[in-house]
Amino acid sequence: MQSPTVFHAPKRLLMGPGPSDAAPSVLKAMAMPLVGHLDPSFIQMMEEIKGMLRSVFQTTHNMTFPVSGTGSAGMEFCMVNLVEPGDEVVVCINGVFGMRMAEVAERCGAKVIKVEAPWGQIIEASQVAKALEGRKPKLVGLVHAETSTGALTPVEEISELAHQAGALMLLDTVTSLAGCEVNVDKWQIDAVYSGTQKCLSCPPGLSPVSLSDKALEVAQSRRERVQSWYLDVNLLNGYWGTERVYHHTAPISMNYALHEALRLVLEEGLETRWKRHQQNHERLVAGLSEMGLGIASQPGHQLWQLNAVTVPEGIDEASVRQQLLKDHQIEVGAGLGPLKGKIWRVGLMGESSRPEHVDQLLGSLKSILSR
């Protein structure tokens, strides 16, 4: 093999389903010198991360911290700690990530009851109520913002139904957190996970999670040990809790980045940030409509941070994406599963959600489509 040259990443505008662009100060934070994972300065910073995550999740849950791993690690963390072989679990599926959640539950040995809606539609609370009739499942799992389809399912009523059935409520907020309202305490969410690379605008690599006291009790009073050593909350608590004993070597630079990203989110203010996401979504929708293009997901429940743009008849969607990337340095995503070839997934997440980016994309799309 020839000796490789230094890698230089091209400058892209990240307007796909994630990662989104990171703020310069977040990238700069990653270039700080490393300290040890038990260094007093690092431990102090970990405390600040936990506090800021509680503010962003809108929770007082003590067990709130970032799992070392991407969003899928947060999903597995919640499932492996809460679910034991033979448990009944209800999983809502209206896209790729609901499917993944069901598979993870199955791999934990759960008997999974699936509540399904067509891709692009939300999960209706009445569907969950029906699935819960005569059942006492351990947990109900829901993807708040389905990144594969651009649909935002309302949570509160489903969470209420889960609790009435004696189940824990698990929520995926990988794409929703910091881009629209996520209120863990008000919605009584027992287990929640997210990812750093979407509306938090940080590189991928950490998965913020939060467990209620009730969920923690479930994890602490299991019949069997948690099958994953790496994701066992009882062990992780030794590091992220007050004891501060070695469990694994925390990804130091990623935690610097998350600290700075959370600081920026709180400096902007949650509601101001959500409003910004809404306004840029509306700007995109208006511009698309002028070009005769629309959004494929259910009206009234369309995500601000992930827009499922309908590909016009006769257009080769992959070729448009390639031209956007090659000639305009803009990344957008393709449709998945039944939506493959039918939509472009346009992310307006965190730093990427700016009016000038919307205009740049609309201009580029117009010039490609007019050809």
The least distance separating ligand PLP from the CB of residue 175, rounded to whole angstroms, comes to: 5
- 97 touching ligand PLP, by CB under 6 A: yes
Give the total of residues touching ligand PLP (CB under 6 A). Answer: 14
Contact 331/13 with Cβ under 8 angstroms?
A: yes
Cα dist from 116 to 126, 135, 145, 339, whole Å:
12, 17, 15, 16
- Both structure tokens of 159: 């969470």
Residue among 13 and 306 whose Cβ is closer to ligand PLP: 306
- 174 touching ligand PLP, by CB under 6 A: yes
The least distance separating ligand PLP from the CB of residue 119, rounded to whole angstroms, comes to: 13
Residue among 70 and 201 whose Cβ is closer to ligand PLP: 70
The least distance separating ligand PLP from the CB of residue 217, rounded to whole angstroms, comes to: 26
Among 175, 237, 352, 364, binds ligand PLP (CB under 6 A): 175
C-alpha–C-alpha distance, residues 283 and 348, integer Å: 11
Residue among 177 and 211 whose Cβ is closer to ligand PLP: 177
Residue among 98 and 137 whose Cβ is closer to ligand PLP: 98
Residue among 18 and 350 whose Cβ is closer to ligand PLP: 18
The distance of Cα 84 from the centroid of its chain, to the nearest Å, equals: 24
C-alpha–C-alpha distance, residues 294 and 110, integer Å: 39
- Both structure tokens of 11: 């400058």
The least distance separating ligand PLP from the CB of residue 39, rounded to whole angstroms, comes to: 27
- 143 touching ligand PLP, by CB under 6 A: yes
Which backbone phi and psi does 207 adopt, to 5 degrees?
Answer: -130, 100
Residue among 75 and 236 whose Cβ is closer to ligand PLP: 75
- 18 touching ligand PLP, by CB under 6 A: yes
One-letter amino acid for residue 141 of the chain: G
Contact 333/345 with Cβ under 8 angstroms?
A: yes
Interaction residues for ligand PLP, span 62-81 (CB under 6 A): 70-72, 75
C-alpha–C-alpha distance, residues 366 and 176, integer Å: 29
Task: Centre a 10 Å sphere on the Cβ of residue 125 and count the other Cβ atoms it contains.
Answer: 17
Q: If you count DSSP H runs as helices and E runs as strands, how many of each does the chain have, helices first?
A: 12, 14
C-alpha–C-alpha distance, residues 65 and 79, integer Å: 16
Task: Centre a 10 Å sphere on the Cβ of residue 53 and count the other Cβ atoms it contains.
Answer: 22
Q: Residue 69: left if φ>0, alpha if ψ -120 to 50, beta else—which one?
A: left
Task: Centre a 10 Å sphere on the Cβ of residue 360 and count the other Cβ atoms it contains.
Answer: 16
Burial class (CB in 10 A: 0-12, 13-18, 19+), 2: exposed
Among 20, 147, 210, 298, binds ligand PLP (CB under 6 A): 147
Residue nearest to ligand PLP (CB): 71
Residue among 92 and 174 whose Cβ is closer to ligand PLP: 174
C-alpha–C-alpha distance, residues 226 and 228, integer Å: 6
3 state DSSP class of 218: helix
The distance of Cα 335 from the centroid of its chain, to the nearest Å, equals: 17
The least distance separating ligand PLP from the CB of residue 96, rounded to whole angstroms, comes to: 8
Choose the binding region for ligand PLP from 55-63, 169-177, 245-253, 309-317 (rule: CB under 6 A). 169-177
Among 120, 150, 195, 347, binds ligand PLP (CB under 6 A): 195
The least distance separating ligand PLP from the CB of residue 252, rounded to whole angstroms, comes to: 19
Among 172, 190, 331, 351, binds ligand PLP (CB under 6 A): 172
The least distance separating ligand PLP from the CB of residue 200, rounded to whole angstroms, comes to: 11
Interaction mask 211-250, ligand PLP, x per CB under 6 A: ----------------------------------------
Residues that bind ligand PLP (CB under 6 A): 17-18, 70-72, 75, 97, 143, 147, 172, 174-175, 195, 204
